[in-house]
Amino acid sequence: MRFRSVFMIPLFGFLLFSHGGIRAQSRPIPATEPIPPNPIRIDGTCLRVGGDPVFLVAGELDYFAVPRKQWKSRMSAMKSAGINCLWISMPWRLHEPEPGRFDFGSKKDEVRDVEGFLKAAKEKDLYVIVRPGPMIGPELKYSGLPDWIAEKKPDLRSKTRAGADRGPGSASIVHPSYIESASAWMEQAGRVIARHTLAQGGPVAFVQLDGPSPGIPDRYEDADFNSAALGFGKKDGRYPHFLWTRYQTIDKVNYEYGGQYTSFQQVRPPDPDGGSDEFERRRRRDFIQFTLENGAEYLQTLSKALRAAGVEVPLTCIAGGPGSGGLLSTAADRMGVKSLLPAADHGSLFSGADAGADAGGAGAFRSLADAFVSLEILRLMGAPPAAFGMPVFAGPPSAARGRSLAQIAAGLKGLAYSSCAEGSMPAGLAPETAAPAAGRTLIDASGKPAPAANALKEVHSFLRKNAWLAEAERDADCRIAYDFDAAAGALFWGGRGRSAFTAGEADGFLRNGMLPALWRAGWSPVFVKLNSDDWTADTSTPVIVLSSSAMSLANQLRLADFMKRGGRLLIAPVLPSTDERFNPCADLAGFLGASAVQTLKTKEAVFRFAGDSGIPAGGLYWTRTVPAGAEAIATEEPSGKTVAWRKKTAGGGEAVFLGVSWEDAGADAESGRIRVTGSLLESLGGKRVLNLSAPGLWAAALRSGKRGMIFVYNPSSFPVADAEVRYQPEASGKPVYSGKLTLKPGEMKTIEVRY
């Protein structure tokens, strides 16, 4: 096995790391020629062109915001920065200014000349992702909706639970009148797009449906409650029909909801500020599922209109935020990821000018955790993980390099930048918001590269040179069982009520507590889908389960079955006591012989582990009694009550219960919890793929065939000297040693490995 250092990224100044040591990079690396528009194939790992893996690097450039005479020069400038795909809006309000009057421009009307723009993109050998909406996003007035809908049809708008109007930029996506108008628009837009797809010799590779999180809220209170659209109180209404389909009889509804209804049409969704007992949670859970199914139906309707118009390229849509990808699973399952490619929105990540602004790197670790969770969810859905809407990073241009490569190391396989080229919105399209700040574009208003262009060119050239990374997989030494119900659970749970730990708290613990601790301890996790059996036969590495107080019976039995096969589990911070519908269900605890978990302390909590005392915790939980045959391994201070135990199980398996939750507070503050995490995984037979000498570093190892690459990143605001990384590849028995590394604040180094 051999290795070489091939790339290094600081947040303040760019350096190359080579065999001869560190040398200053005096000029930008020339951009390599982007790929020509050949058909793109989606597989479960990456995007492929002609069978070869490829990173799709898209940039936003809108034909209506840039004069026609500058189209090709802007495209050339973006291409020279390493962009191989354009991400363009096709606003409904621009092309159907009056009902039934469609205008797609001409040589004399360059603002609407979308076809001329697509022809220019073809000449420049650039792929195109077209966004016809119907709603596109806040960068356009009324999200791109035409005035004759947004202003003149308020009954089509999304409503709050109290019936308040959410404004002219919103729409109730299943309102029959809205669907009729939106479908007609999509079919007309589709006819134009269909003439320019890859199969027709054009550049269009994908069509994006709607804006971020189409009809899918990030919070329960943000759901649509439009009574006319959803049919509240109507015998043949959409919501009463959903309830009838689910329960068949009103008696079952009353049993589940604790109600006294006499008909389905009497049932209303609960108030966001309602109670947190099991009845209210079931009502909220059902309404969220109803909302997700409406969103899937909406996307299917838009897809049908495009297919009827002859659009044969894959479709895509974007989740509303880094944690929302799982909410698209209903639509992706119905349509298949090769027809509907779900993507993430990473626009809010690494939002500060300096990703390592805090001394311990806690903020950067949390952004990395958000990115990692987001991308792993997409991977579990069978989609090559991609993120759209990423801003061109503000602040020091070199910060974009560190952030970009960190997300590649976290699993990113494709991306689209927003606001890549400065332009001027025509009257009637611009929202009532400020223009992007200077420095947040690749190409400035004069058509010249902005400061960030050379910085990102380095990253894009690196991706072209190392295209094999697009099909690379993570070398992992432990697994995290991710429950897809958790994403929706965070929306409907409400307050804690009688539960020890909510779904939202479990998700926060994953992102802000466990993942940073694992990385600081040198572990390399990967996700498995808790709701599936496809991982349970593999008992080679330990599995981590971050549970709320609710978990389906099927998932509890699946975990027990894994241990019966000889599998090893680390379960934190509670054991489930109910199923996903909050009916009593403690089969996992029963398998382990444990009593119900109760909250011990959530303020000023500290615990002792293996001789280490005074370790801080965000919350401590216990089972009152240690199960028969189990060994107590951690106690609350000063009471001595057991908050963690280990037990061998039937079938040769093993479980560690760790009744502790926490939030990452930086490298120095995490030392005790780092030792706890590392020690417990080692006790479960885990063997690190990567060993880091400094807990402030973040590292990942990706591999494909006989090639591998180690990413080593310093997210803190302090330099790290004499750091060492030892990599034990899964594919070989020979370890790789990095030698002593010095990393400046925000600096990333990569080490290429050959097996």
- Reported as a single tens digit per residue, the pLDDT across 243-283 is 999 999 999 999 999 999 999 999 999 888 777 889 999 99
CA neighbours closer than 13 Å in the CB half-sphere of residue 53: 19
Which carries the bigger pLDDT value, residue 356 or residue 120?
120
Domains of the chain with bracketed CATH: 1-28+702-755 (no CATH), 31-224+299-471 (3.20.20.80), 478-688 (3.40.50.880)
- Quick check: 12 pLDDT over 50? no
**pLDDT class of 396 with cuts at 50, 70, 90:** low
- Say how many Å lie between the first and final Cα of the chain, rounded: 5
- Quick check: 286 pLDDT over 90? yes
Q: How far is CA 568 from CA 514, 538, 542, 546, 587, in A?
A: 17, 10, 5, 14, 17
Rounded Cα distance between 133 and 461, Å, is 32
Report yes or no: 314 and 338 within 8 Å, Cβ to Cβ. Answer: yes
**Which whole number is the average pLDDT over 658-673?**
83
Which carries the bigger pLDDT value, residue 170 or residue 24?
170
**Which whole number is the average pLDDT over 592-616?**
90
Q: Of 553, 584, 560, 551, nearest to 485 (Cα)?
A: 551
| Bond prior to 616 in cis (omega within 30° of 0) | no
**DSSP one-letter code for 652:** G
**pLDDT class of 471 with cuts at 50, 70, 90:** very high
Three-state DSSP class for 709?
strand
Name residue, tokens 């199923």. 579
Report yes or no: 595 and 624 within 8 Å, Cβ to Cβ. Answer: yes
**Which whole number is the average pLDDT over 300-318?**
95
Q: Of 325, 332, 327, 324, nearest to 299 (Cα)?
A: 332
What per-residue confidence (pLDDT) applies to 43?
A: 86
Tokens of 259: 């109600």
- Quick check: 294 pLDDT over 90? yes
- Quick check: 743 pLDDT over 50? yes
Which carries the bigger pLDDT value, residue 302 or residue 440?
302
Rounded Cα distance between 601 and 636, Å, is 9
Rounded Cα distance between 546 and 213, Å, is 26
Q: Of 57, 47, 111, nearest to 79 (Cα)?
A: 57
| Bond prior to 67 in cis (omega within 30° of 0) | no
- Quick check: 34 pLDDT over 50? no
What per-residue confidence (pLDDT) applies to 560?
A: 98
What per-residue confidence (pLDDT) applies to 21?
A: 27
What per-residue confidence (pLDDT) applies to 493?
A: 75
Name the burial class of residue 323, with classes exposed (0-12), middle (13-18) and buried (19+) by CB atoms within 10 angstroms of its CB: buried
- Quick check: 355 pLDDT over 50? no
Report the b/e string of 51-85 with b at 16+ CB within 10 A: eebbbbbbbbbbbbbbebebbeebbebbbbbbbbb
Residues near 252 by beta carbon (within 8 Å), at least 6 away in sequence:
none
- Quick check: 18 pLDDT over 70? no
Neighbours of 596 (CB within 10 A): 14
pTM recorded for the entire structure: 0.91
**Beta pairing, strands 414-418 & 698-704:** unpaired
